[in-house]
Amino acid sequence: MRKLAITALAATGVAFGGAALAQDQNYTIGVSIPAATHGWTGGVVFHAEEAAQMLEEAYPGLDVIVQTSPDAPSQASAIEDLAAQGLDALVILPFNSDELTGPVGALAGRDPDLFVTVVDRGLADPSIQDLYVAGDNPGFGRVAGEYFAQNLDDGAQVVVLRGIPTVIDDERNEAFRAALDGSGVEIVDSQYANWNRDDAFRVMQDFLSKHDRIDAVWASDDDMALGVIEAIRQAEREDIRFVVGGAGMKQMVQRVMDGDPMIPVDVSYPPAMIATAMAVTAGSFYSQAPVRGTYVLDAELITQENADRFFFEDSPF
Protein backbone atom coordinates (compact mmCIF):
# COMPACT_ATOMS: atom_id res chain seq x y z
CA MET A 1 0.00 0.00 0.00
CA ARG A 2 2.58 2.45 1.15
CA LYS A 3 4.33 2.36 -2.16
CA LEU A 4 1.17 2.79 -4.18
CA ALA A 5 -0.08 5.63 -2.05
CA ILE A 6 3.21 7.37 -2.44
CA THR A 7 3.05 6.84 -6.20
CA ALA A 8 -0.49 8.14 -6.22
CA LEU A 9 0.41 11.13 -4.09
CA ALA A 10 3.49 11.83 -6.16
CA ALA A 11 1.32 11.75 -9.25
CA THR A 12 -1.19 14.17 -7.77
CA GLY A 13 1.69 16.28 -6.53
CA VAL A 14 3.04 16.59 -10.07
CA ALA A 15 -0.34 17.04 -11.66
CA PHE A 16 -1.46 19.59 -9.13
CA GLY A 17 1.70 21.60 -8.85
CA GLY A 18 -0.08 24.43 -7.14
CA ALA A 19 -0.89 22.28 -4.11
CA ALA A 20 1.40 24.13 -1.71
CA LEU A 21 -0.23 27.45 -2.43
CA ALA A 22 -3.69 26.38 -1.39
CA GLN A 23 -2.96 24.12 1.54
CA ASP A 24 -4.46 26.36 4.18
CA GLN A 25 -7.94 25.80 2.81
CA ASN A 26 -10.25 23.51 4.75
CA TYR A 27 -12.12 20.76 2.94
CA THR A 28 -13.96 17.64 4.07
CA ILE A 29 -14.15 14.45 2.00
CA GLY A 30 -16.60 11.69 3.00
CA VAL A 31 -15.74 8.16 1.86
CA SER A 32 -18.53 5.59 1.85
CA ILE A 33 -17.55 1.96 1.18
CA PRO A 34 -18.99 -1.50 1.83
CA ALA A 35 -17.89 -3.14 5.08
CA ALA A 36 -15.36 -5.94 4.71
CA THR A 37 -17.50 -8.95 3.87
CA HIS A 38 -15.04 -10.76 1.64
CA GLY A 39 -11.40 -10.53 0.72
CA TRP A 40 -11.64 -7.81 -1.91
CA THR A 41 -13.79 -5.42 0.13
CA GLY A 42 -11.45 -6.11 3.06
CA GLY A 43 -8.71 -4.71 0.84
CA VAL A 44 -10.86 -1.70 -0.04
CA VAL A 45 -11.37 -0.85 3.63
CA PHE A 46 -7.66 -1.21 4.35
CA HIS A 47 -6.57 0.98 1.43
CA ALA A 48 -9.25 3.61 2.14
CA GLU A 49 -8.05 4.00 5.71
CA GLU A 50 -4.38 4.18 4.70
CA ALA A 51 -5.13 6.73 1.97
CA ALA A 52 -7.21 8.85 4.36
CA GLN A 53 -4.27 9.13 6.74
CA MET A 54 -1.78 9.94 3.98
CA LEU A 55 -3.97 12.58 2.36
CA GLU A 56 -4.59 14.32 5.67
CA GLU A 57 -0.85 14.46 6.24
CA ALA A 58 -0.20 15.70 2.71
CA TYR A 59 -2.87 18.40 2.76
CA PRO A 60 -3.20 20.14 6.14
CA GLY A 61 -6.75 21.42 6.41
CA LEU A 62 -8.14 18.36 4.63
CA ASP A 63 -10.45 16.14 6.65
CA VAL A 64 -11.24 12.63 5.36
CA ILE A 65 -14.04 10.61 6.98
CA VAL A 66 -14.20 6.91 6.06
CA GLN A 67 -17.50 5.18 6.73
CA THR A 68 -18.23 1.47 6.07
CA SER A 69 -21.73 0.02 5.65
CA PRO A 70 -22.91 -3.60 5.81
CA ASP A 71 -25.59 -3.34 3.10
CA ALA A 72 -27.16 -1.01 0.54
CA PRO A 73 -29.89 0.53 2.72
CA SER A 74 -27.43 1.36 5.49
CA GLN A 75 -25.07 2.81 2.92
CA ALA A 76 -27.90 5.10 1.79
CA SER A 77 -28.32 6.27 5.41
CA ALA A 78 -24.57 6.52 5.89
CA ILE A 79 -24.16 9.02 3.06
CA GLU A 80 -26.98 11.11 4.56
CA ASP A 81 -25.10 11.13 7.87
CA LEU A 82 -21.88 12.04 6.10
CA ALA A 83 -23.59 14.87 4.25
CA ALA A 84 -24.91 16.22 7.54
CA GLN A 85 -21.31 16.82 8.58
CA GLY A 86 -20.87 19.30 5.73
CA LEU A 87 -19.09 17.56 2.90
CA ASP A 88 -17.22 19.11 0.02
CA ALA A 89 -16.81 15.78 -1.73
CA LEU A 90 -18.28 12.31 -1.53
CA VAL A 91 -16.27 9.30 -2.64
CA ILE A 92 -18.54 6.27 -2.87
CA LEU A 93 -18.06 2.63 -3.80
CA PRO A 94 -21.75 1.71 -4.05
CA PHE A 95 -23.11 -1.67 -2.95
CA ASN A 96 -25.06 -1.78 -6.15
CA SER A 97 -25.80 0.67 -8.89
CA ASP A 98 -29.58 0.81 -8.84
CA GLU A 99 -30.28 1.12 -5.14
CA LEU A 100 -27.80 3.91 -4.52
CA THR A 101 -28.40 6.04 -7.59
CA GLY A 102 -31.42 7.69 -5.94
CA PRO A 103 -29.81 8.60 -2.60
CA VAL A 104 -26.58 9.89 -4.17
CA GLY A 105 -28.59 11.84 -6.77
CA ALA A 106 -30.71 13.44 -4.06
CA LEU A 107 -27.61 14.50 -2.18
CA ALA A 108 -26.00 15.99 -5.27
CA GLY A 109 -29.27 17.75 -6.14
CA ARG A 110 -29.47 19.42 -2.73
CA ASP A 111 -25.89 20.62 -2.83
CA PRO A 112 -24.79 21.45 -6.41
CA ASP A 113 -21.23 22.17 -5.23
CA LEU A 114 -20.78 18.65 -3.86
CA PHE A 115 -18.05 16.83 -5.78
CA VAL A 116 -19.17 13.22 -6.35
CA THR A 117 -16.67 10.46 -7.07
CA VAL A 118 -17.99 7.00 -7.88
CA VAL A 119 -15.73 3.95 -7.66
CA ASP A 120 -15.92 0.52 -9.32
CA ARG A 121 -19.68 0.07 -9.67
CA GLY A 122 -21.15 2.91 -11.68
CA LEU A 123 -24.43 4.64 -10.80
CA ALA A 124 -27.41 4.09 -13.09
CA ASP A 125 -27.35 7.82 -13.91
CA PRO A 126 -23.76 8.83 -14.75
CA SER A 127 -24.66 12.54 -14.88
CA ILE A 128 -24.59 12.59 -11.06
CA GLN A 129 -20.88 11.87 -10.82
CA ASP A 130 -18.01 14.28 -11.39
CA LEU A 131 -15.41 11.54 -11.38
CA TYR A 132 -15.60 7.81 -12.04
CA VAL A 133 -12.77 5.44 -11.15
CA ALA A 134 -13.12 1.78 -12.07
CA GLY A 135 -11.31 -1.42 -12.84
CA ASP A 136 -11.28 -2.79 -16.34
CA ASN A 137 -13.47 -5.91 -16.35
CA PRO A 138 -13.20 -6.76 -20.05
CA GLY A 139 -9.47 -6.07 -19.73
CA PHE A 140 -9.32 -8.48 -16.80
CA GLY A 141 -10.52 -11.30 -19.06
CA ARG A 142 -8.53 -10.15 -22.08
CA VAL A 143 -5.17 -9.99 -20.28
CA ALA A 144 -5.67 -13.51 -18.95
CA GLY A 145 -6.84 -14.75 -22.35
CA GLU A 146 -3.81 -13.27 -24.10
CA TYR A 147 -1.50 -15.00 -21.64
CA PHE A 148 -3.22 -18.32 -22.37
CA ALA A 149 -3.04 -17.76 -26.13
CA GLN A 150 0.66 -16.93 -25.99
CA ASN A 151 1.74 -19.66 -23.63
CA LEU A 152 -0.32 -22.62 -24.80
CA ASP A 153 0.03 -24.55 -28.03
CA ASP A 154 -2.56 -25.03 -30.73
CA GLY A 155 -5.11 -27.59 -29.53
CA ALA A 156 -4.50 -26.98 -25.82
CA GLN A 157 -7.50 -27.67 -23.58
CA VAL A 158 -8.58 -25.14 -20.96
CA VAL A 159 -11.27 -25.23 -18.29
CA VAL A 160 -12.85 -22.09 -16.89
CA LEU A 161 -14.31 -21.41 -13.44
CA ARG A 162 -16.74 -18.53 -13.39
CA GLY A 163 -17.80 -16.36 -10.47
CA ILE A 164 -21.37 -15.42 -9.59
CA PRO A 165 -23.66 -14.81 -12.58
CA THR A 166 -23.31 -11.00 -12.90
CA VAL A 167 -22.52 -8.41 -15.56
CA ILE A 168 -18.95 -8.25 -14.23
CA ASP A 169 -18.49 -11.99 -14.69
CA ASP A 170 -20.02 -11.90 -18.19
CA GLU A 171 -17.76 -9.07 -19.33
CA ARG A 172 -14.67 -10.83 -18.05
CA ASN A 173 -15.66 -14.14 -19.55
CA GLU A 174 -16.56 -12.77 -22.98
CA ALA A 175 -13.28 -10.90 -23.21
CA PHE A 176 -11.38 -14.03 -22.21
CA ARG A 177 -13.06 -16.04 -24.95
CA ALA A 178 -12.49 -13.29 -27.50
CA ALA A 179 -8.79 -13.21 -26.65
CA LEU A 180 -8.53 -16.96 -27.29
CA ASP A 181 -10.20 -16.68 -30.69
CA GLY A 182 -7.98 -17.97 -33.45
CA SER A 183 -5.28 -19.19 -31.07
CA GLY A 184 -6.36 -22.83 -31.34
CA VAL A 185 -6.71 -22.98 -27.56
CA GLU A 186 -10.00 -24.66 -26.75
CA ILE A 187 -12.27 -24.10 -23.73
CA VAL A 188 -13.51 -27.61 -22.96
CA ASP A 189 -15.64 -26.78 -19.94
CA SER A 190 -16.91 -23.90 -17.84
CA GLN A 191 -18.93 -23.76 -14.62
CA TYR A 192 -19.91 -21.25 -11.95
CA ALA A 193 -18.06 -21.59 -8.65
CA ASN A 194 -19.35 -18.38 -7.01
CA TRP A 195 -15.93 -16.81 -6.31
CA ASN A 196 -15.79 -19.33 -3.49
CA ARG A 197 -12.84 -21.53 -2.58
CA ASP A 198 -14.89 -24.57 -1.53
CA ASP A 199 -17.08 -24.46 -4.63
CA ALA A 200 -14.01 -24.13 -6.82
CA PHE A 201 -12.48 -27.20 -5.16
CA ARG A 202 -15.67 -29.16 -5.84
CA VAL A 203 -16.00 -28.07 -9.48
CA MET A 204 -12.31 -28.69 -10.18
CA GLN A 205 -12.44 -32.20 -8.68
CA ASP A 206 -15.27 -32.96 -11.10
CA PHE A 207 -13.47 -31.37 -14.06
CA LEU A 208 -10.48 -33.58 -13.27
CA SER A 209 -12.66 -36.71 -13.23
CA LYS A 210 -14.39 -35.67 -16.44
CA HIS A 211 -11.44 -34.60 -18.59
CA ASP A 212 -8.38 -36.76 -19.13
CA ARG A 213 -6.38 -33.85 -20.35
CA ILE A 214 -6.45 -30.28 -19.07
CA ASP A 215 -3.57 -28.02 -20.06
CA ALA A 216 -4.44 -24.94 -18.05
CA VAL A 217 -7.14 -23.52 -15.79
CA TRP A 218 -8.56 -20.00 -15.81
CA ALA A 219 -9.89 -19.74 -12.26
CA SER A 220 -10.70 -16.03 -12.87
CA ASP A 221 -10.28 -15.24 -9.15
CA ASP A 222 -7.54 -15.85 -6.60
CA ASP A 223 -9.83 -17.43 -4.02
CA MET A 224 -11.08 -19.90 -6.61
CA ALA A 225 -7.51 -20.55 -7.80
CA LEU A 226 -6.56 -21.72 -4.30
CA GLY A 227 -9.39 -24.29 -4.32
CA VAL A 228 -8.40 -25.40 -7.82
CA ILE A 229 -4.77 -25.92 -6.85
CA GLU A 230 -5.73 -28.12 -3.90
CA ALA A 231 -7.96 -30.29 -6.13
CA ILE A 232 -5.17 -30.71 -8.69
CA ARG A 233 -2.74 -31.63 -5.96
CA GLN A 234 -5.05 -34.30 -4.60
CA ALA A 235 -5.63 -35.81 -8.06
CA GLU A 236 -1.82 -35.93 -8.58
CA ARG A 237 -2.29 -34.86 -12.17
CA GLU A 238 0.80 -33.77 -14.10
CA ASP A 239 -0.91 -32.52 -17.25
CA ILE A 240 -2.02 -29.13 -15.91
CA ARG A 241 0.67 -26.60 -16.69
CA PHE A 242 -0.67 -23.57 -14.88
CA VAL A 243 -3.59 -21.93 -13.11
CA VAL A 244 -4.40 -18.23 -13.49
CA GLY A 245 -6.56 -16.52 -10.88
CA GLY A 246 -7.20 -12.81 -10.65
CA ALA A 247 -7.59 -9.77 -8.36
CA GLY A 248 -4.15 -9.75 -6.74
CA MET A 249 -4.64 -11.44 -3.40
CA LYS A 250 -1.57 -11.25 -1.17
CA GLN A 251 -0.97 -15.01 -0.99
CA MET A 252 -1.19 -15.38 -4.76
CA VAL A 253 1.05 -12.41 -5.53
CA GLN A 254 3.53 -13.97 -3.11
CA ARG A 255 3.50 -17.22 -5.11
CA VAL A 256 4.01 -15.35 -8.39
CA MET A 257 6.92 -13.52 -6.74
CA ASP A 258 8.39 -16.83 -5.55
CA GLY A 259 8.24 -18.21 -9.09
CA ASP A 260 5.71 -20.98 -8.36
CA PRO A 261 5.45 -22.82 -11.71
CA MET A 262 1.74 -23.52 -11.16
CA ILE A 263 1.02 -19.80 -10.63
CA PRO A 264 3.21 -18.03 -13.17
CA VAL A 265 1.08 -14.88 -13.31
CA ASP A 266 -1.94 -13.14 -11.82
CA VAL A 267 -4.21 -10.39 -13.17
CA SER A 268 -4.78 -7.26 -11.09
CA TYR A 269 -8.12 -5.81 -10.11
CA PRO A 270 -6.83 -3.65 -7.31
CA PRO A 271 -8.94 -2.77 -4.25
CA ALA A 272 -6.50 0.14 -3.94
CA MET A 273 -8.51 1.89 -6.69
CA ILE A 274 -10.35 3.53 -3.79
CA ALA A 275 -7.06 5.27 -2.90
CA THR A 276 -6.71 6.49 -6.49
CA ALA A 277 -10.21 7.95 -6.34
CA MET A 278 -9.54 9.65 -3.01
CA ALA A 279 -6.22 11.11 -4.13
CA VAL A 280 -7.65 12.57 -7.35
CA THR A 281 -10.67 13.93 -5.48
CA ALA A 282 -8.43 15.65 -2.93
CA GLY A 283 -6.32 16.99 -5.76
CA SER A 284 -9.35 18.65 -7.31
CA PHE A 285 -9.57 21.00 -4.31
CA TYR A 286 -5.95 21.98 -4.13
CA SER A 287 -5.18 22.72 -7.76
CA GLN A 288 -6.59 24.12 -10.96
CA ALA A 289 -5.89 20.92 -12.88
CA PRO A 290 -9.05 19.49 -14.48
CA VAL A 291 -9.92 16.11 -12.97
CA ARG A 292 -13.51 15.45 -14.01
CA GLY A 293 -13.95 12.34 -16.14
CA THR A 294 -13.66 8.59 -16.17
CA TYR A 295 -10.54 6.77 -15.02
CA VAL A 296 -10.31 3.10 -15.96
CA LEU A 297 -7.39 1.40 -14.25
CA ASP A 298 -5.65 -1.17 -16.38
CA ALA A 299 -6.00 -4.84 -15.54
CA GLU A 300 -2.29 -5.61 -15.40
CA LEU A 301 -0.52 -8.90 -15.81
CA ILE A 302 1.31 -9.53 -12.55
CA THR A 303 4.56 -11.36 -13.29
CA GLN A 304 7.54 -12.35 -11.21
CA GLU A 305 9.31 -9.18 -12.39
CA ASN A 306 6.66 -6.68 -11.29
CA ALA A 307 4.97 -8.61 -8.47
CA ASP A 308 6.51 -6.50 -5.70
CA ARG A 309 4.49 -3.54 -6.99
CA PHE A 310 1.27 -5.46 -6.19
CA PHE A 311 2.27 -6.90 -2.83
CA PHE A 312 1.03 -5.12 0.31
CA GLU A 313 2.39 -6.75 3.45
CA ASP A 314 -0.13 -5.23 5.87
CA SER A 315 -3.26 -5.57 3.75
CA PRO A 316 -5.68 -8.32 4.75
CA PHE A 317 -6.20 -9.11 1.05
Partner 1 sequence: MHETRSHETTSIEPGTKGETPARRPARRRRIDMRALSPFIALAVLLVLGAFTSPVFLSVENLTNVATRASFIAIIAVGATFVIAAGGLDLSVGSMAALTAGVMILAMNAVGGADVSTIAIGMAVALGVALACGLFNGLVVTFGRIEPFIVTLGGMGIYRALVVFLAAGGTITMTDWDLRETYRPIYFGDVLGVPIPVIVFLVVAAVAAVVLYKTPFGRHVVAIGSNEDVARFSGVPIRRVRTLTYVIQGLCVGIAILVYVPRLGSATPTTGLLWELQAITAVVIGGTALKGGTPFVWGTVVGALILELVANIMVLSDFVSEYLVGAVQGAIIIIAMLVQRSLQRGR
Q: What residues line the site for partner 1 (CB under 8 A)? A: 35-39, 41-43, 45-46, 162, 165, 190-192, 194-198, 201-203, 205-207, 209-210, 223, 226-227, 230, 234-235, 249-251, 315-317
Of 116 and 249, CB closest to partner 1:
249
H/E stretch holding 162: strand 157-162
Cβ closest to partner 1, residue 78 vs residue 114: 78
CB 188 within 8 A of CB 158: yes
Q: What is the DSSP letter of 207?
A: H
**Minimum CB distance to partner 1 smaller for 56 or for 189:** 189
Nearer to partner 1, 211 or 241 (CB): 211
Helical segments of the chain, H only: 2-15, 39-58, 72-84, 97-110, 137-151, 167-180, 197-210, 222-235, 250-257, 273-285
Q: Shortest distance, CB of residue 158 to partner 1, whole angstroms?
A: 15
Among 288, 286, 296, 271, smallest CA distance to 5 is for 271
Q: Cβ of residue 195: shortest distance to partner 1, in angstroms? A: 8
- Identity of the residue, 39 or 270, whose beta carbon is nearer to partner 1 in the bound complex: 39
For the bound state, the minimum distance from the C-beta of residue 164 to partner 1, rounded and expressed in Å, comes to 11
Looking at beta carbons only, is 63 or 230 nearer to partner 1?
230
CA–CA distance, 279 with 9 (Å, rounded to integer): 7
As measured in angstroms, the least distance from the Cβ of 106 to partner 1 is 29
CB of 287 to partner 1, least distance (A): 33
> Residue 181 phi/psi, 5° resolution?
-55, 130
Counting other chains too, the contacts that 53-58 makes at CB distance below 8 Å and 24 or more residues apart are 54/5, 54/6, 54/9, 55/9, 55/29, 55/278, 55/279, 55/282, 58/9, 58/13, 58/282
The distance of closest approach from Cβ of residue 62 to partner 1 in the complex, given in angstroms and rounded to an integer, is 26
Is residue 30 within 8 A of residue 274, CB to CB? The reply is no
For the bound state, the minimum distance from the C-beta of residue 206 to partner 1, rounded and expressed in Å, comes to: 4
Query: Quick one: 44 or 297, whose CB is closer to partner 1?
Result: 44
| Closest among 56, 60, 52 to 25, alpha carbons compared | 60
